[in-house]
Structure 1
Amino acid sequence: TRTLITLTCVYVDRTETIRSCVNPTYSKVFTLDFYFEEVQRLRFELFDINSSHNGLKEADFLGSVECTLGQIISQRKLSKALLRPGGTVGKAIITITAEELTGNDDYIELSFSARKLDDKDFFSKSDPFLEIYRVNDDATMQLVYRTETVMNNLNPVWKTFKVSLNSLCSGDHDRKLQCTVWDWDSNGKHDYIGEFEASFKEMKGAIDGRQVQWPCINPKYRVKKKNYRNSGIVILNQCKVIKMHSFLDYIMGGCQIQFTVAIDFTASNGDPRNSCSLHYIHPYQPNEYLKALVAVGEICQDYDSDKMFPAFGFGARIPPDFQVITCSARMIIPPPLWIQGVVEAYQACLPKLQLYGPTNIAPIIQKVAKTASQEVHTKEAMQYFILLILTDGVITDMADTREAIVQASHLPMSIIIVGVGNADFSDMQMLDGDDGILRSPKGEPVLRDIVQFVPFRSFKHASPAALAKSVLAEVPNQVVDYYNSKGIKPKVPSEYQSSRPFGP
């Protein structure tokens, strides 16, 4: 039986109406949440509203454009031909531009000192430390940072520290910050020296190396002492904003996701002509290999400019000499266009192969890693590689695979392994690294976690989107972690430079 899938649309928003214009430019901005691991399909509909019409119900429908949010983001500016009623392609072009809303992921580096603080000790000088609190909307206070204690010093210089902009002020530059100076006591009953109010907006005055100062005030002394001025001066010597680049910064700066798939053609999959085989091609129901391939590939293809996906196989004997693919990764499917090309090539090559063995995946990892290593010497984030390995069994070259993963962790590369079938995949969990640090046979630890393993059986009765969400959720952080560790900043794009038409 065929499965009928009905897609429902949820209304988001509409632009303003522009009168008497055939080349309108709309100022309305639509704000959408972006999820890399999901295919977020969008539909834009264009209407002609005449002055005599009452709203969209009586407006003339001119046509529509469908795309994904990933396509818009990867190009920054997407132009598509308008599909008129009836499905014909019109001459009109709709252009959609995108930009990321500024987040609060930046870090702030602050360097405080003080001078002439009140002396609270009888036999020595005060031991001051500084606390900074964020005043919340409900008037409660949240401790943001507490400095170290500088012993026996009325003119302390506290160590430079970092704090996220979100923690400091929730992204609100005018939010009130309550700052308190204390004299440390070993019994925990610290003596109050004074306080002052500040904001990040004021602190930014120290960005260019200028000092910002606040009098440290003890309210009790202000009431009791006639000539009281302050209990010292607190000085901000430096305020430095450390930009934390996001995944979208890199993607919209031109970074391309290079997607490669490797398929297990070992004999344990069963004869593809048998309906019990994991490679069996059912006329109506895709097998697990195809489901996983399409679920992940449909998302990755939006971020790959040439849409060319290398597809490799392992564990098979291939014509004309029928040598077993064991010691090297051999491309058995010519690079097709779009993910559907991989699907068609996979189906076409199955009858020509002899499923054999063993299940060696290290050569595949090394093959992609060799290509990824060419990116290491570039100063800009231009290509990041995702390797999808689809396999049905326990790998037979575990030591070499561990070594290959450790070496690949130094490269712009992520590895997704989907276990197909009902085999014992316990060894795969070790490669994932979630339960501990993966090490090579020589003991070298993985530099960063780049492997995500998921058994397909956990998603057998779920939607393909659920599988894709699980295996791709970690990719954005892996991309950012790699480039940040290398000190590589995203390329700053020229004004919507990639404005090529995407097609009908």
Structure 2
Amino acid sequence: MDALSKSDPMLVVYTKMDGRLEEIGRTEVILNSLEPLWITKAMINYQFEIVQPLVFRIYDVDTKYHNTPLKTLNLAQQDFLGEAFCNLSEIVTKFNHSLTLNLRNGSGHALQGTVTVHAEETASSRMAVDMQFHCLNLDNKDTFSKSDPFLRVSRLSESAVAIPICKTEVIKNNLNPVWRPITLTSQQYSSKDDPLLVECFDFDASGNHELIGSLQTTIAQLENLYNSKAGANFYSHKGQKKLKGQLFLDKFQEKVQHTFLDYISSGFELNFMVAVDFTASNGDPRVPQSLHYIDPSGRPNSYQQAILGVSEVLQFYDNDRRFPAWGFGAKIPRGSVSHCFNLNASTNDCEVVGVEGIMSAYSSTLYSVSLAGPTLFGPVISKAAEIASHSVQYGNNKYFVLLIITVCNIYPHVTSVQKFYPSIVVCRMELSPTSKKQKILL
């Protein structure tokens, strides 16, 4: 946009929340460049279970604003160079976590430029510590027996409020207890130097556990305690008195936890499948009270909302975006009641292409079948299990998600299929014909 030199570009990252853009970060300004490589990163919490739309906008920062702090820079006073859109899941599902997007102008027309976005998981969010504690010479709080001790570990906030993050099991009748190992993640303890409170209680079935002793420490200090093989003394309430009881560490091991993104990066793939209840218990589709009612205004019914809500999240984790889609509990054209029929009306292929394919097939099926019954899930689950079993035989690195949208309880069927086909997770969304409320049960 500069007349006598190249642009001085800066990129601004937004996330879209409830239709509103929320800025999450700005890069530095790269002077005199049409191919900038920005270093500044924008931080966002990755959430698998929701769609996270991102917007990237590039501005040419005017020379007179180069000394203005980036956070206070008025974007309306800068030249807009273009923008790009994607969902966070589209980036993280790429093998190298990089995605190149075409830039568009404010009217949505394509521009010549592109922007490449790279995502990486912060190392600190993956760290965890395995620890095993034991105590010696704890004070006895019981009259006719010994204490039943357990430990509770809390993070201390800036206002000194103790926020419990972990606790051990109870060891009965023992003043020198050895507990099973516990694991604390970096999300729980924040940093190795943040204060922690370790409390030892005498368990009481009434819930009124009596404090045996406590001490304030950090993950770094616990590591030193382990390396020194020494013990740390407990203190009485509010640290008024040093007690003879001591805390020891038998194990302190830091480790990197594998996350969902590690599986995605290594080629792991989710395959999404959906089955829709077309039984008469849904109500006559011609009346507004029916869960299958198609509103002339275009407002999606409960089934359409359920399909969109789940498939829009999972679609980017399915590489070919071809989804098996079935219906059950309806009388199909020129046939009898079927408890597993292809939504696309094909006799050979059950797959549809994309979320739009599921929605289109659902609408077409609704007008071509007669709602009937009874409600039987077995044939649909068996068909899904057959597909998953076939994939396992060829060693494919896949996991299958079957969404059954229904008005009935399918719990017994879910437990049986997952017993024999652990690579399938069955997600049932139960709809209520009266309240039209939805609930997802995994």
**2:232–2:248: 8 Å Cα contact kept in structure 1?**
no
Q: 2:358 aligns with which of 342, 345, 350?
A: 342
**2:271–2:398: 8 Å Cα contact kept in structure 1?**
yes
**1:196–1:217: 8 Å Cα contact kept in structure 2?**
yes
- Could you say what secondary structure the match of 1:310 adopts? strand
Tell me the alpha carbon deviations over residues 139-172 of structure 1, each in whole angstroms, 9 at most, x when there is no partner: 57788767858979xxx783443242469x7232
Tell me the alpha carbon deviations over residues 214-269 of structure 1, each in whole angstroms, 9 at most, x when there is no partner: 366799xxxxxxxxxxx899764422346554444444554433222212233455
- Could you say what secondary structure the match of 1:359 adopts? coil
Matches within 5 A, 1:277-316: 278-285=291-298, 286-316=300-330
Structure 1 residues 170, 270: CA separation in 2 closer, same or farther (over 3 Å shift)? Answer: closer
- Could you say what secondary structure the match of 2:229 adopts? strand
Query: Does residue 1:40 correspond to 2:16, yes or no?
Result: no
Match of 1:390 in 2: 405
Match of 2:113 in 1: 92
Q: Partners in 1 of 2:312 and 2:393 — Cα distance?
A: 30
Match of 2:338 in 1: 325
Question: Which letter does structure 2 place at the counterpart of 1:307?
Answer: R
- Could you say what secondary structure the match of 2:102 adopts? strand
- Aligned-pair CA distance for 1:73: 3.1
- Aligned-pair CA distance for 1:308: 1.2
- Bigger Cα displacement from structure 2, 350-359 vs 275-284: 275-284
Q: Partners in 1 of 2:193 and 2:39 — Cα distance?
A: 28
Match of 1:213 in 2: 229
Q: Partners in 1 of 2:172 and 2:131 — Cα distance?
A: 19
Q: Partners in 2 of 1:279 and 1:118 — Cα distance?
A: 65
Count the aligned residue pairs. Answer: 385
**1:62–1:85: 8 Å Cα contact kept in structure 2?**
no
Question: Which letter does structure 2 place at the counterpart of 1:69?
Answer: L
Q: 1:109 aligns with which of 128, 131, 138?
A: 131
Query: Does residue 1:360 correspond to 2:376, yes or no?
Result: yes
**1:39–1:70: 8 Å Cα contact kept in structure 2?**
yes
- Give the TM-score of the pair, scaled to structure 1: 0.61
Structure 1 residues 214, 141: CA separation in 2 closer, same or farther (over 3 Å shift)? Answer: farther
- Could you say what secondary structure the match of 2:116 adopts? strand
Match of 1:14 in 2: 26
Query: Does residue 1:256 correspond to 2:277, yes or no?
Result: no
Q: CA RMSD in A?
A: 4.6
- Could you say what secondary structure the match of 2:36 adopts? coil
Match of 2:81 in 1: 62
Tell me the alpha carbon deviations over residues 425-444 of structure 1, each in whole angstroms, 9 at most, x when there is no partner: xxxxxxxxxxxxxxxxxxxx
- Bigger Cα displacement from structure 2, 250-259 vs 403-412: 250-259
Match of 1:71 in 2: 90
Give the structure with the larger strand fraction: 2
Tell me the alpha carbon deviations over residues 110-162 of structure 1, each in whole angstroms, 9 at most, x when there is no partner: 25577xx8999xxxxx999897866834557788767858979xxx7834432
**2:197–2:217: 8 Å Cα contact kept in structure 1?**
yes
Q: Partners in 1 of 2:428 and 2:342 — Cα distance?
A: 19
Question: Which letter does structure 1 place at the counterpart of 2:41?
Answer: V
Q: Partners in 2 of 1:21 and 1:263 — Cα distance?
A: 53
**1:110–1:240: 8 Å Cα contact kept in structure 2?**
no
Structure 1 residues 69, 266: CA separation in 2 closer, same or farther (over 3 Å shift)? Answer: same
- Aligned-pair CA distance for 1:88: 2.4
Match of 1:161 in 2: 181
- Aligned-pair CA distance for 1:45: 0.9
Q: Partners in 1 of 2:103 and 2:390 — Cα distance?
A: 40
Unmatched 5+ residue regions in structure 2?
1-17, 67-73, 141-145, 202-208, 236-243, 345-349
Q: Partners in 2 of 1:265 and 1:189 — Cα distance?
A: 57
- Aligned-pair CA distance for 1:18: 0.7
- Aligned-pair CA distance for 1:313: 0.9
Structure 1 residues 50, 330: CA separation in 2 closer, same or farther (over 3 Å shift)? Answer: same
Instruction: State the percentage of identical aligned residues.
Output: 26
**1:128–1:181: 8 Å Cα contact kept in structure 2?**
no
Question: Which letter does structure 2 place at the counterpart of 1:158?
Answer: V
- Aligned-pair CA distance for 1:99: 2.9
- Give the TM-score of the pair, scaled to structure 2: 0.68
Tell me the alpha carbon deviations over residues 55-94 of structure 1, each in whole angstroms, 9 at most, x when there is no partner: 5323221211112223233333222111134422233221
- Could you say what secondary structure the match of 2:191 adopts? coil
Unmatched 5+ residue regions in structure 1?
1-5, 121-125, 183-187, 220-230, 396-400, 423-454, 459-466, 479-504
Tell me the alpha carbon deviations over residues 251-300 of structure 1, each in whole angstroms, 9 at most, x when there is no partner: 45544332222122334556656777654544432333223222332222
Question: Which letter does structure 1 place at the counterpart of 2:418?
Answer: S
Structure 1 residues 212, 87: CA separation in 2 closer, same or farther (over 3 Å shift)? Answer: same
Q: Partners in 1 of 2:196 and 2:369 — Cα distance?
A: 69
Q: Partners in 2 of 1:218 and 1:273 — Cα distance?
A: 71
**1:112–1:236: 8 Å Cα contact kept in structure 2?**
yes
Q: 1:29 aligns with which of 19, 23, 41?
A: 41
- Aligned-pair CA distance for 1:190: 11
Q: Partners in 1 of 2:328 and 2:251 — Cα distance?
A: 57
Structure scoring higher RCO (CA < 8 A, sep ≥ 6) equals 1
Tell me the alpha carbon deviations over residues 9-51 of structure 1, each in whole angstroms, 9 at most, x when there is no partner: 2333321111122221212222223443433322111112242
